[in-house]
Structure 1
Amino acid sequence: MEKHDWDNVFNFAKVLVLDAGDQIRLSFKQKLIIDFKENASDLVTNMDKQIEKFFIQKINEKYPSHHILGEEGYGEELTSLDGIVWIIDPIDGTMNFVHMQRHFAISVGIYHNGEGVIGFIYDVVADDLYYAVKGGGAFVNGEALPPLKSTEIGKAVIGINAAWGIENKRIDSSITSALIRDVRGTRSFGSATLEMAYIASGKIDGYLSMRLAPWDYAAGKILIEELGGKISSVSGEPLQLLTKQTPVFAAKPGLHEYILENYFKK
């Protein structure tokens, strides 16, 4: 696609994201229909479904040749990332949405032949719109975010999802215990998408989770990499955007390599 076409895609996506945010805010006064997927903590609401359907309808009308991968399954079953692919999480942090009406976000990552081009993360309640265009910088509410700089392990604050520490046996608990001991602090916000936006904006220094799907990190990956940060599997391998239940580690440059080398590759 030519540059002016990407500009049009960016502007169109931005309008959709903000419109979806308006719909979600209006839903706060309505009664939610709440269900769960694999277990009682894996919630989905009528709004998750409504927002994903909204994106799909609008994208199909405007760009019928584009492909769509969405968390709630209303998009396509993709076997490749050929062409232009929108990777959408209509509400990342659904449990926060249900219980607190806070700390959740809309995530939209737009990829071209597997390469991230445009990423949006919208913190709906805070009205903070994070976005990046490959080669064009990353921003929050129109203000440019500075390139990420390395942080010493002892000064680092890392986002860690505590739930997988109980549920998941993919990593020896002594490894994560050592990491938790050595960093300045850990946090858990309940939204992988927001935690990646927080890395991009310097609020935290890294984020670790054992089981993310592509819609959890597709937009965050674009933001973090545009600012010089790193995101990979915990073994340092590139992320496979069509694979679910992926262990993901994102962090500032330098810190990312240090933690992988000194904790996960021992």
Structure 2
Amino acid sequence: MMKVFLTEAKQYIEASFEKELRIETKSSRNDLVTEVDQYIEALFTRYLKQYFPSHRIFGEENAEHKVESLEGAVWIIDPIDGTLNFVEQKRDFAISIALYMDGIGEYGIVYDVEKDDLYVGEKGKGATLNGREIRRVSDRRGVADSLLIANLSAVNLYPKLKEAIRVSRGLRLYGAASLEFMAVATGRAGAYLAANLAPWDVAASKIIAEELGCIVSRLSGEEIDMLEKGTSVVALPKVYQELQNLYLKK
């Protein structure tokens, strides 16, 4: 199911590059939704009803795709993570889909459409990139040896992060949470710190990152509630401990 869905989704997205998009704003002028977001979520819904009719969907774009619990089988989807990037740059956006069984993340995919890179993670079985096994992250690298990814909202919440950024090898920002998670999960960055992420922003990426040895939590160190918006950090083990001990203190 997933392979056929992603192939059709990619074809639709690439065809949309040649068209004038219908763009709407949601919570702010930079929080966008297009007919492509809506179509991709509807397309996945059709496939899911065909193959797994008893499963539920928790999605970003359809008001009917809201849930109050994660009991049973729930698919969490962000049809276009990084819609602003999609609209303005035609790159650095992804399809993000996860399967949670009774609240436990079992399977997640992040598909970087423009690069045609497919990240897949399955609980207890590791993760792959385009079918090839991804090596687990280093537990030796600290903040000083790493690039950091952080949005301004996270730094405003925890001002000591400015010092962490100064100590680190530099700051990067992609504008798509799932791809920023993947940068950490593949060892290209030491941590990604963000505020106000929705469940669909992190559901799939969390599964993949944890399978590769990363630590994922709220900035406060609490576990992420996959039904609520909130802060998030994904980091290499040593980077995570240094951030919590030295920089994630108000």
TM over 0.5: yes
Residues matched between the structures, number: 249
Does the CA-based 8 Å contact 2:45-2:57 persist in structure 1? yes
Aligned to 2:103: 114
Matched, 1:13 2:2: yes
Residue 262 of structure 1 and its aligned partner are, at CA, apart by: 1.4
| Correspondence 1:35-114 to 2 at 5 A | 35-114=24-103
After superposing the two structures, state which structure 1 stretch, 186-195 or 198-207, moved more.
Answer: 198-207
After superposing the two structures, state which structure 1 stretch, 153-162 or 104-113, moved more.
Answer: 153-162
Give the partner amino acid of 1:206.
A
Residue 75 of structure 1 and its aligned partner are, at CA, apart by: 4.4
Give the partner amino acid of 1:225.
E
Matched, 1:253 2:243: no
Residue 18 of structure 1 and its aligned partner are, at CA, apart by: 3.2
Residue 100 of structure 1 and its aligned partner are, at CA, apart by: 0.6
Aligned to 2:147: 157
Taking structure 1 as the reference length, the TM-score comes to: 0.90
Show CA shifts across 1:186-233 (max 9, x none). 100010011111112222121010110010011100001111111000
Separation in 1, partners of 2:7, 2:127: 17
Separation in 2, partners of 1:55, 1:256: 35
Matched, 1:192 2:182: no
Separation in 2, partners of 1:77, 1:153: 38
Structure 1 counterpart SS, 2:179? helix
Residue 257 of structure 1 and its aligned partner are, at CA, apart by: 1.9
Separation in 2, partners of 1:152, 1:243: 30
Show CA shifts across 1:102-126 (max 9, x none). 1000000111111111110000000
Give the partner amino acid of 2:195.
M
Does the CA-based 8 Å contact 1:234-1:249 persist in structure 2? yes
- Aligned alpha-carbon RMSD (Å): 1.5
| Correspondence 1:133-212 to 2 at 5 A | 133-150=122-139, 151-162=141-152, 164=153, 171-173=157-159, 175-212=160-197
Show CA shifts across 1:70-106 (max 9, x none). 1112443211100111000000000110001010000
Give the partner amino acid of 1:230.
I
Aligned to 1:6: none
Show CA shifts across 1:126-147 (max 9, x none). 0001111111110101111001
Aligned to 2:220: 235
Residue 64 of structure 1 and its aligned partner are, at CA, apart by: 1.3
1:128–1:75 Cα change, 3 Å = farther
Residue 17 of structure 1 and its aligned partner are, at CA, apart by: 2.6
Return 5+ residue gaps in structure 2 as ranges: none
Structure 2 counterpart SS, 1:254? helix
Return 5+ residue gaps in structure 1 as ranges: 1-11
Structure 2 counterpart SS, 1:32? coil
Does the CA-based 8 Å contact 2:216-2:232 persist in structure 1? yes
Aligned to 1:262: 246
Separation in 2, partners of 1:97, 1:120: 18
The percent of aligned pairs where both chains have the same amino acid is 40
1:81–1:22 Cα change, 3 Å = same
